């Protein structure tokens, strides 16, 4: 099949999925059915499977009781909670109706051990995980482009010193380096962004340097220098715009990778700390109850998988879109398989 016909669906699927994820994250306060940190009657609400509907009994002291069944009695209400039956007088119930109680608690994706709604926590966790990933990539992009530009245009000595330092950092496994750096920071969103940005900029540096080295000898750059243009102006007006496409594609791929790394860091207890929800610490909460409460780790894990796939699709679509080999005179030229 012609590459030109494959390009739009990949780009549209990836871009559409990311746009949907961003909209969901931004609209989390509107979409979440409950407060993500609300612990409503943990003994009765903990570890409820997806689709559970419970009667919510509001008492005069402000507390709630969750029950599988609520049956009205002449003197009040009888509720069944975890195979235990409790009778409450009408004077203690605020939301009493002729058939039982007026309120219901619906756990569409189940609940955790504290009775918190998992759907609400995943929606709010999307805000945290996406914000951390995107912000960390912006930090990595800034550092990477700056160091790569300095290495490519600063002369042999600067190139040798900077790139040997980059090679030394790249020699460490990312997760190991991230854990080592996490020992010097207090866990939290800002620290996670700094950590992720601090381990991701080296790849962008190498790519930026390679692109600038291939461009600096081009005729339009030589002409700009011959006209007396300042090196920084040449970099800003001519070199970076022409080198930015592969860097942008690499940065798009990095967002998905950094979301995975943030999840790993939070899973290990070194990233986003509870009760603030992130996809990583939601999975960590479910690691000890994978059989008893499979939904706690499964749904956040699925959200991470969908997000990473979406960013990879977008990066692949952007690469094909801007790849000059994908262009043909008639738009139907066959390209060799990669």
Q: For the domain bounded by 52-107, which CATH number is listed?
A: 2.30.30
Question: What local confidence, expressed as pLDDT, does residue 126 receive?
Answer: 94
Four-point Cα dihedral 317, 318, 319, 322, nearest 10: 120
- pLDDT at residue 240 in the model: 81
What is the structure's pLDDT at 325? 54
Token couple for 331: 């738009």
DSSP codes of every residue in 256-317: HHHHHHHHHHHHTTSSSPTTS--HHHHHHHTGGGTTTTTHHHHHHHHHHHHHHHHHHHHHHH
Helix (H) / strand (E) element for 125: namely: helix 118-153
pLDDT at 224: 66
Residue 99: per-residue pLDDT: 84
> Residue 56's Cα: distance from chain center in Å?
33
The pLDDT of residue 321 is 79
**CATH 2.30.30 segments of the chain:** 52-107
Residue 268 CA, distance from chain mean position: 17
Which residues of the chain are in CATH 1.10.3720.10 domains? Answer: 118-326
pLDDT for residue 130: 93
pLDDT for res 324:
56
Closest CA to 202 of 134, 143, 264: 143
Q: CA 2 → CA 96, 312, 321, 336, 338, distances in Å?
A: 66, 21, 13, 10, 13
| CATH 2.40.170.20, applies to 118-326 | no
The verdict on whether omega for the bond into residue 221 sits within 30 degrees of 0, i.e. cis, is: no
pLDDT at 290: 87
If the chain, 338 residues long, is cut into consecutive pieces of 10 residues, what is the mean pLDDT of each piece?
Answer: 56 89 94 93 90 92 90 88 86 88 93 94 94 93 91 87 90 79 76 88 90 78 69 74 85 90 84 88 89 93 94 87 55 40
3-class state of residue 117 by DSSP:
strand
Strand residue runs (E) in the chain: 52-58, 64-67, 69-73, 76-81, 84-89, 96-97, 100-101, 103-107
Give the global pTM.
Answer: 0.84
């Amino acid at each position: 099949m012609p590459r030109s016909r494959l390009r739009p669906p990949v780009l549209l699927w990836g871009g559409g999925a990311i746009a949907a994820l961003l909209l969901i994250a931004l609209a989390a306060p509107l979409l979440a059915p409950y407060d993500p940190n609300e612990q409503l009657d943990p003994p009765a609400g903990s570890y409820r499977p997806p689709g559970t509907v419970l009667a919510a009994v509001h008492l005069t002291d402000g507390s709630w009781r969750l029950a599988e069944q609520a049956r009205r009695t002449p003197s009040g209400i009888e509720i069944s909670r975890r195979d235990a039956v409790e009778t409450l007088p009408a004077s203690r119930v605020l939301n009493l109706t002729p058939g039982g109680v007026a309120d219901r608690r619906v756990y569409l994706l189940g609940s955790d051990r504290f009775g918190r709604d998992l759907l609400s926590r995943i929606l709010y966790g999307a805000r945290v995980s996406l914000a951390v990933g995107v912000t960390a990539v912006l930090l990595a992009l800034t550092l990477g482009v700056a160091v790569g530009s300095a290495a490519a245009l600063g002369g042999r000595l600067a190139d040798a010193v900077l790139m040997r330092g980059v090679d030394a950092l790249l020699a460490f496994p990312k997760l190991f380096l991230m854990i080592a750096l996490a020992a010097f920071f207090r866990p939290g969103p800002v620290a996670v962004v700094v950590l992720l940005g601090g381990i991701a900029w080296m790849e962008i540096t190498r790519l930026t340097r390679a692109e600038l080295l291939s461009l600096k000898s081009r005729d339009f750059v030589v002409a700009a220098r011959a006209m007396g243009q300042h090196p920084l102006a040449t970099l800003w007006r001519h070199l970076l715009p022409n080198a930015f496409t592969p860097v942008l594609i690499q940065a798009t791929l990095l967002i998905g990778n950094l979301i995975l790394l943030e999840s790993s860091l939070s899973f290990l207890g070194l990233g986003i700390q509870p009760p603030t929800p992130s996809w990583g610490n939601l999975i960590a909460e479910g690691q000890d109850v994978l059989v008893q409460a499979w939904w706690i780790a499964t749904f956040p894990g699925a959200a991470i998988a969908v997000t990473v796939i979406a960013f990879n699709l977008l990066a692949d679509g952007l690469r094909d879109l801007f790849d000059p080999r994908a262009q043909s005179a008639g738009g139907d030229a066959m390209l060799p398989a990669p």
